[in-house]
């Protein structure tokens, strides 16, 4: 497969992809599904406190390097800027990145302050204050299963929980409370996110598509916080695992790859590269 040279301007292809559990995986999420002797070679792409944390297969790393060299590849994550900074993806360093679920656009590693100001003003107009949501999270959570409570970039809040002890219906009740205040709730692994509704990956992707003159937008993701991104792209993919898979979520332009774990990351990259190589499908 031969990808076209990288382009930014009329006719460009922009690829906006979630990272965690879409392209990169913790050791617990790899789901290799083969005997140890047949396991693929892995590339560590993130180290935290001196320990390896996130991986890709070497095949996925090669595919990503080729894709990033031939498209406008945009890592698109709910991670904070600091958390994103720990990741070292193969291939050329992306010129653009979307962090904090769309709250920050990085251009050559530097935050676009005008974009951030635009987002925060919209949140202030349309949503209940972060402090109100944070107070509710802390008061509603049970210390028996709450491990941590955090705020990310002064934009959204999340809890780290012992999921096995999380009461049935608790997340649903929280979601109903949050929805009335302009917020959304998402459960991902051990984390429960509360995010202002205007804080979306899709809005940031559209802005970068406008700036780069992209004629085709492609996206990938696995969680409910990726749903708006997958809907906004011309074509999108999700793995056979994750929050969207558990919900049976689908859309006309979405392709579900049957693979799970790290194998899903490889297959998503193959399909992104195939479409990018031929242009608009």
Lookup: tokens for 45: 């792409």
Lookup: tokens for 93: 């360093």
Q: Which residues contact 8 (CB under 8 A, 6 or more apart)?
A: 72, 95, 212, 213
Per-residue pLDDT, 34 = 86
**Nearest Cα to Cα of residue 235 among 12, 64, 15, 73:** 15
Backbone torsions φ then ψ of 198, nearest 5 degrees: -70, -10
DSSP letter for 20, please.
Answer: B
| pTM for this entry | 0.92
How high is the mean pLDDT in each 10-residue block of the chain (281 residues)? 46 95 95 90 97 97 96 97 97 96 98 98 98 97 96 97 95 97 91 96 98 97 96 98 94 97 97 86 42
CA distances (Å), 136 to each of 73, 166, 174, 210, in order?
38, 16, 9, 38
Lookup: tokens for 24: 């990169």
Please tell me whether residue 92 adopts helix, strand or coil conformation.
coil
Q: Are 64 and 56 in contact (CB under 8 A)?
A: yes
Lateral strand order in the sheet of 72-75: 72-75, 12-17, 214-220, 235-238, 254-256
CA distances (Å), 224 to each of 18, 53, 112, 220, in order?
11, 23, 25, 12
Q: To 5 degrees, how large is the angle CA 32–CA 26–CA 13?
A: 90
């Amino acid at each position: 497969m031969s990808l076209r040279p990288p382009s930014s301007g009329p006719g460009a292809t922009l690829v906006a992809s979630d990272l965690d559990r879409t392209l990169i995986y913790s050791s617990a999420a790899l789901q290799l599904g083969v005997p140890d002797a047949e396991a693929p070679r892995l590339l560590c792409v993130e180290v935290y406190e001196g320990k390896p944390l996130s991986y890709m297969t070497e095949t996925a790393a090669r595919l990503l390097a080729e894709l990033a060299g031939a498209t406008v590849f945009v890592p698109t994550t709910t991670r904070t800027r600091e958390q994103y900074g720990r990741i070292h993806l193969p291939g050329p360093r992306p010129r653009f990145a979307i962090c904090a679920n769309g709250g920050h656009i990085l251009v050559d590693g530097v935050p676009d302050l005008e974009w951030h100001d635009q987002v925060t003003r919209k949140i202030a107009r349309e949503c209940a204050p972060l402090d109100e949501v944070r107070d509710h999270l802390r008061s509603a959570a049970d210390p028996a299963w709450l491990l941590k409570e955090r705020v990310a970039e002064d934009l959204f809040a999340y809890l780290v929980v012992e999921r096995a002890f999380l009461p049935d219906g608790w997340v649903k009740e929280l979601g109903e409370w949050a929805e009335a205040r302009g917020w959304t709730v998402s459960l991902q692994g051990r984390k429960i996110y509360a995010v202002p509704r205007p804080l979306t990956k899709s809005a940031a992707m559209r802005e970068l598509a406008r700036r780069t003159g992209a004629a085709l937008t492609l996206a990938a993701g696995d969680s409910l916080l990726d749903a708006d991104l997958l809907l906004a792209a011309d074509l999108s993919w999700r793995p056979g695992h994750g929050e969207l898979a558990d919900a049976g979520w689908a859309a006309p332009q979405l392709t579900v790859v049957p693979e799970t774990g790290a194998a899903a990351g490889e297959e998503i990259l193959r399909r992104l590269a195939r479409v990018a190589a031929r242009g608009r499908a």
